[in-house]
Amino acid sequence: GAVVSQHPSRVICKSGTSVKIECRSLDFQATTMFWYRQFPKQSLMLMATSNEGSKATYEQGVEKDKFLINHASLTLSTLTVTSAHPEDSSFYICSARDDGGDTQYFGPGTRLTVL
Protein backbone atom coordinates (compact mmCIF):
# COMPACT_ATOMS: atom_id res chain seq x y z
CA GLY A 1 0.00 0.00 0.00
CA ALA A 2 0.88 3.64 -0.29
CA VAL A 3 3.16 4.84 2.49
CA VAL A 4 3.94 8.37 3.59
CA SER A 5 6.75 9.06 6.02
CA GLN A 6 7.55 12.11 8.10
CA HIS A 7 10.79 13.12 9.70
CA PRO A 8 11.37 13.83 12.47
CA SER A 9 8.60 12.20 14.45
CA ARG A 10 9.26 14.46 17.41
CA VAL A 11 11.26 17.65 17.81
CA ILE A 12 11.88 20.01 20.68
CA CYS A 13 13.40 23.39 19.94
CA LYS A 14 14.06 26.73 21.55
CA SER A 15 11.93 29.74 20.82
CA GLY A 16 13.24 31.71 17.86
CA THR A 17 14.80 28.80 16.02
CA SER A 18 13.57 27.26 12.76
CA VAL A 19 12.48 23.68 12.34
CA LYS A 20 12.17 21.71 9.10
CA ILE A 21 9.78 18.78 8.75
CA GLU A 22 10.02 16.40 5.81
CA CYS A 23 7.17 14.51 4.20
CA ARG A 24 7.94 11.73 1.74
CA SER A 25 5.78 9.48 -0.38
CA LEU A 26 7.74 6.24 -0.36
CA ASP A 27 6.18 4.17 -3.12
CA PHE A 28 4.20 6.57 -5.26
CA GLN A 29 4.50 9.97 -6.86
CA ALA A 30 2.61 12.87 -5.44
CA THR A 31 2.25 16.10 -7.35
CA THR A 32 0.12 17.40 -4.52
CA MET A 33 0.78 17.16 -0.81
CA PHE A 34 -1.06 18.75 2.07
CA TRP A 35 0.05 20.04 5.45
CA TYR A 36 -2.21 19.98 8.49
CA ARG A 37 -1.83 20.91 12.12
CA GLN A 38 -3.72 19.37 14.94
CA PHE A 39 -4.07 20.78 18.45
CA PRO A 40 -4.75 18.40 21.35
CA LYS A 41 -8.18 16.80 21.19
CA GLN A 42 -9.06 18.75 18.07
CA SER A 43 -9.50 17.99 14.41
CA LEU A 44 -7.01 18.49 11.62
CA MET A 45 -6.84 21.97 10.17
CA LEU A 46 -5.49 22.32 6.66
CA MET A 47 -2.61 24.78 6.54
CA ALA A 48 -1.57 24.63 2.91
CA THR A 49 -1.58 22.69 -0.31
CA SER A 50 1.89 21.93 -1.62
CA ASN A 51 2.30 21.63 -5.38
CA GLU A 52 5.41 20.16 -6.96
CA GLY A 53 7.36 22.79 -8.84
CA SER A 54 5.16 25.70 -7.88
CA LYS A 55 4.23 27.84 -4.91
CA ALA A 56 2.12 26.42 -2.14
CA THR A 57 -1.44 27.55 -1.63
CA TYR A 58 -2.07 28.66 1.92
CA GLU A 59 -5.35 28.60 3.77
CA GLN A 60 -6.76 31.80 5.13
CA GLY A 61 -5.07 32.86 8.32
CA VAL A 62 -1.89 30.85 7.79
CA GLU A 63 1.24 32.98 7.55
CA LYS A 64 3.16 31.91 4.46
CA ASP A 65 6.35 33.61 5.65
CA LYS A 66 6.26 31.71 8.89
CA PHE A 67 5.38 28.31 7.48
CA LEU A 68 7.61 27.85 4.45
CA ILE A 69 6.70 25.00 2.14
CA ASN A 70 8.92 23.55 -0.53
CA HIS A 71 7.86 20.74 -2.87
CA ALA A 72 10.97 20.20 -4.92
CA SER A 73 10.28 16.67 -6.15
CA LEU A 74 7.38 14.33 -6.73
CA THR A 75 8.13 12.48 -3.50
CA LEU A 76 9.22 15.17 -1.06
CA SER A 77 7.64 18.20 0.52
CA THR A 78 9.10 20.13 3.43
CA LEU A 79 7.52 22.44 5.97
CA THR A 80 9.80 24.88 7.76
CA VAL A 81 8.48 26.62 10.83
CA THR A 82 10.53 29.80 11.00
CA SER A 83 11.26 31.66 14.23
CA ALA A 84 9.20 29.18 16.17
CA HIS A 85 7.33 30.25 19.29
CA PRO A 86 5.56 28.22 21.98
CA GLU A 87 2.19 28.80 20.31
CA ASP A 88 3.51 26.92 17.27
CA SER A 89 3.74 23.77 19.36
CA SER A 90 1.42 21.29 17.74
CA PHE A 91 1.11 18.00 15.90
CA TYR A 92 1.89 18.52 12.21
CA ILE A 93 0.61 15.95 9.75
CA CYS A 94 1.22 15.75 6.03
CA SER A 95 -0.65 13.84 3.39
CA ALA A 96 0.12 12.95 -0.19
CA ARG A 97 -2.33 12.39 -2.99
CA ASP A 98 -1.47 9.55 -5.33
CA ASP A 99 -1.19 11.06 -8.82
CA GLY A 100 -4.21 9.94 -10.80
CA GLY A 101 -5.94 8.63 -7.73
CA ASP A 102 -8.52 10.03 -5.36
CA THR A 103 -7.09 9.09 -2.01
CA GLN A 104 -4.86 11.02 0.33
CA TYR A 105 -2.41 9.01 2.36
CA PHE A 106 -1.33 10.44 5.67
CA GLY A 107 2.03 10.52 7.35
CA PRO A 108 2.48 9.53 11.00
CA GLY A 109 2.81 13.13 12.14
CA THR A 110 5.49 15.25 13.78
CA ARG A 111 5.14 16.49 17.33
CA LEU A 112 6.71 19.94 17.62
CA THR A 113 7.37 21.41 21.04
CA VAL A 114 8.77 24.91 21.25
CA LEU A 115 10.24 25.87 24.61
Residue 78 vs residues 5, 42, 81, 102: alpha-carbon distances, Å: 12, 23, 10, 22
Q: Is 105 in the site for other proteins (CB under 8 A)?
A: yes
Q: Is 28 in the site for other proteins (CB under 8 A)?
A: no
Beta bridge partners of 4: 25
Q: Is 8 in the site for other proteins (CB under 8 A)?
A: no
With CB under 8 A as the contact rule, the residue among 11, 13, 44, 76 that binds other proteins is 44
With CB under 8 A as the contact rule, the residue among 15, 83, 85, 108 that binds other proteins is 108
Q: Which residues, 6+ apart, have CB-to-CB distance to 34 below 8 Å?
A: 46, 48, 49, 50, 94, 95, 96, 97, 104
By C-beta, is 76 or 82 nearer to other proteins? 76
Residue 5 vs residues 16, 41, 43: alpha-carbon distances, Å: 26, 23, 20
User: 4 and 95 in contact (C-beta within 8 Å)?
Assistant: yes
Q: Is 6 in the site for other proteins (CB under 8 A)?
A: yes
Q: Is 97 in the site for other proteins (CB under 8 A)?
A: yes
Least distance to other proteins, CB of residue 110, Å: 10
Name the site residues for other proteins (rule: CB under 8 A): 4, 6, 31-32, 34, 42-44, 46, 49, 51, 91, 93, 95, 97, 102-109, 111
